């Protein structure tokens, strides 16, 4: 029994070498911590880890894609898509495999939750799910009229904050001091608040509840108050950066045009987001490895990269559709989102003393509607953030004070299964994506030969066997979430490996890493200071909300109730 379990673990992890590497990095925390506290070794280790990681995935995630959702074959369009808005794909279409798949309702039931299963390996808070949603929409803002495309050029461009086209960007700008347009309610600054467009019958033209919405690049965030709250924080960050640059310029007798101020602020906020994402979201949140990845804009110019990296590493012009489905973490969301009724925001000591445990407080809640219905006005983001007292602070603190769900099968709310998961699986079949086993093989992992090599969870195992006639029929989308979460991970070993690979291939494909802009000449001395002052989500909540020193993290304390 023990031997079989060990053999299944090795297969699931992709071989003995991968298994040993995962085990090594997930253990010996004091050793790794001590090593990473030595400045020179810390930098070398970080550069080596990133260089080796990107070299490992350069063939599996090609810079110039061979396939895309538009064509079933390699084409010049894929190579020369300078719009950078077409979804690529890692493997060609598999029509014969797709034709034999089980009923869609049955297959999507693999995700359906009976009882909420919390994430306990990393003790993630619900806040990490809403940050992931906000951050990833610069990659996955799929065009509703053409699902082979995204609405903006892919990459670290913060299109979800600034817009993607020149016309949209211009519409959001104030034309003064680089600032974005804004509305002020109760003395607080928000993105512009506008009426929701109506059709001739008086119904909302877009599926957003209520009468008002924020004029932001991703309108559907107006139906998800916590998503909108994260957006507002980074909107305020941009405004703050512009005003600080203006103060610096005035004090130093410098002049900067609106355009220069706007562009400098965008670069600074992009650096802030990258630092926060790598230092907090990944290293402190998602990553079970004790070898922590840090932001280093010089890594591609280092000697370590020269000797251990992939060599030539061009910016990519595509985003993988497989990455889109990998990033659908709807299991994070519980059956109801609890929201504290009150916070002592006027007293910083009281805020600092708050325990991030949602069940210690009187709560309101956001509950999902019936699967055949849409969200009611209680989900309207403008109402939550501008009309409810301390609405933004309550949403953010509450999300940071309750556990996220485990990213596994049989753990997704029924509304999300019907309205998000099932349509997603339908798209996978329309795109004729290859099987879970085919993708394992593509990334150099062993093919699994039996269901027990995917998971030892009895309920998930039974469900997979009910839905799929054999292990080779398991689909990519449910397959990656079915895996055991080995070595204390948030993800299974295959999903973790390809997720990290595609994430960092995407981050380092950004043209931000091809230019020398991280200096005072480009950003000013004040700009460099602003770029380096954000490392954690608590840094932006402390500066741009009334949460002060409240404990806002992507994890909850280990002793919080499960």
Task: Give Cα 435 to chain centroid, integer Å.
Answer: 24
| Coil, helix or strand at residue 561 | coil
* Token couple for 239: 């405004």
Strand 67-68 and strand 87-89: pairing? antiparallel
CA distance 201 to 406: 42
Give the H/E segment covering residue 183.
strand 183-185
Within 10 angstroms of residue 367's Cβ, the number of other Cβ atoms is 14
Asked if residues 155 and 315 have their Cβ atoms less than 8 Å apart, the reply is yes
Residues whose CB falls within 8 Å of the CB of residue 209, separated by 6 or more in sequence, listed in order: 223, 374, 375, 376, 377, 378, 379, 380
User: Could you give the C-alpha distances from 460 to 381, 413, 456, 502, in angstroms and in order?
Assistant: 36, 16, 8, 26
Rounded to a whole number, what is the largest CA-CA distance in the chain?
Answer: 75
- Specify which residues 340 forms β-bridges with: 363
In the 3-class helix/strand/coil scheme, how is 212-251 assigned residue by residue?
A: EEECCCCHHHHHCHHHHHHHHHHHHHHHHHHHHHHHHHHH
User: Could you give the C-alpha distances from 68 to 73, 127, 144, 157, 489, in angstroms and in order?
Assistant: 8, 33, 17, 22, 31
Within 10 angstroms of residue 119's Cβ, the number of other Cβ atoms is 25
| Cα angle: 215, vertex 217, 222; to 5 degrees | 60
Within 10 angstroms of residue 175's Cβ, the number of other Cβ atoms is 11
Asked if residues 190 and 182 have their Cβ atoms less than 8 Å apart, the reply is yes
Flag whether 67 is marked binding. Answer: no
* Token couple for 162: 């600034």
Residues whose CB falls within 8 Å of the CB of residue 54, separated by 6 or more in sequence, listed in order: 309, 310, 313, 504, 505, 508
| Nearest residue to 238 via CA among 275, 216, 263, 218 | 263
| Nearest residue to 452 via CA among 79, 8, 3 | 8
Asked if residues 26 and 290 have their Cβ atoms less than 8 Å apart, the reply is yes
Detail the residues annotated as belonging to a binding site. 330
Detail the residues annotated as belonging to a binding site for heme b. 330
């Amino acid at each position: 029994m023990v031997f079989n379990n060990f053999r299944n673990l090795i297969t699931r992890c992709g071989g003995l070498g991968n298994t040993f590497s995962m085990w090594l990095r997930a253990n010996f925390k004091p050793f790794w911590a001590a090593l990473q506290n030595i400045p020179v070794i810390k930098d070398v280790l970080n550069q080596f880890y990133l260089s080796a990681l990107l070299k490992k995935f350069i063939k599996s995630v090609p810079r110039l894609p061979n396939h895309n959702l538009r064509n079933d074959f390699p084409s010049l369009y894929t190579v020369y898509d300078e719009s950078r808005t077409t979804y690529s794909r890692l493997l060609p279409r598999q029509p014969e495999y797709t034709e034999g798949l089980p009923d869609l309702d049955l297959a999507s039931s693999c995700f359906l939750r009976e009882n909420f299963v919390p994430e306990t390996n990393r003790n993630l808070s619900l806040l990490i799910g809403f940050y992931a949603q906000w951050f990833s929409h610069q990659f996955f803002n799929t065009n509703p009229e053409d699902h082979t495309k995204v609405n903006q050029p892919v990459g670290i461009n913060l299109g979800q904050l600034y817009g993607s086209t020149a016309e949209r960007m211009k519409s959001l700008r104030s034309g003064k001091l680089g600032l974005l347009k804004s509305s002020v309610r109760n003395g607080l600054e928000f993105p512009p608040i506008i009426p929701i467009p109506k059709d001739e019958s008086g119904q909302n033209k877009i599926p957003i509840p209520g009468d008002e919405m924020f004029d932001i690049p991703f309108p559907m965030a107006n139906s998800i108050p916590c998503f909108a709250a994260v957006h507002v924080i980074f909107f305020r960050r941009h405004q703050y950066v512009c005003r600080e640059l203006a103060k610096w310029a005035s004090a130093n007798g410098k002049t900067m045009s609106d355009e220069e101020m706007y562009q400098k602020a965008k670069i600074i906020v992009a650096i802030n987001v990258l630092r926060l994402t790598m230092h907090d979201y990944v290293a402190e949140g998602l990553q079970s490895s004790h070898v922590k990845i840090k932001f280093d804009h010089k890594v591609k110019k280092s000697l370590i990269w020269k000797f251990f990296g992939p060599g030539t590493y061009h910016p990519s012009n595509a985003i993988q559709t497989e990455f889109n489905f990998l990033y659908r973490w709807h299991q994070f969301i519980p059956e109801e989102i609890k929201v504290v009724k009150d916070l002592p925001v006027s007293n910083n000591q009281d805020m600092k003393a708050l325990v991030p445990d949602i069940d210690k407080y009187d709560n309101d809640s956001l509950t999902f509607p019936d699967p055949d219905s849409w969200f009611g006005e209680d989900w309207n983001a403008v109402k939550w953030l501008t009309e409810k007292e301390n609405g933004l602070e309550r949403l953010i603190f509450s999300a940071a004070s309750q556990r996220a769900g485990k990213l596994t099968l049989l753990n997704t709310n029924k509304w999300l299964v019907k309205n998000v998961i099932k349509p997603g699986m339908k798209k996978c079949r329309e795109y004729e994506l290859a099987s879970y086993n085919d993708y394992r093989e593509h990334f150099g992992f062993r093919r699994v030969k039996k269901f027990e090599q995917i998971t030892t969870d009895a309920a998930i195992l039974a469900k997979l066997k009910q839905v799929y006639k054999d292990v080779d029929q398991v689909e990519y989308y449910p397959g990656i979430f079915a895996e055991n979460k080995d070595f204390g991970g948030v993800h299974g070993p295959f999903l973790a490996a390809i997720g990290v690979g595609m994430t960092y291939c995407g981050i380092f494909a950004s043209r931000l890493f091809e230019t020398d802009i991280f200096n005072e000449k480009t950003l000013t001395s004040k700009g460099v200071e602003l770029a380096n002052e954000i490392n954690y989500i608590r840094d932006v909540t402390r500066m741009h909300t009334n949460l002060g020193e409240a404990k806002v993290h992507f994890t909850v304390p280990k002793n919080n109730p499960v």
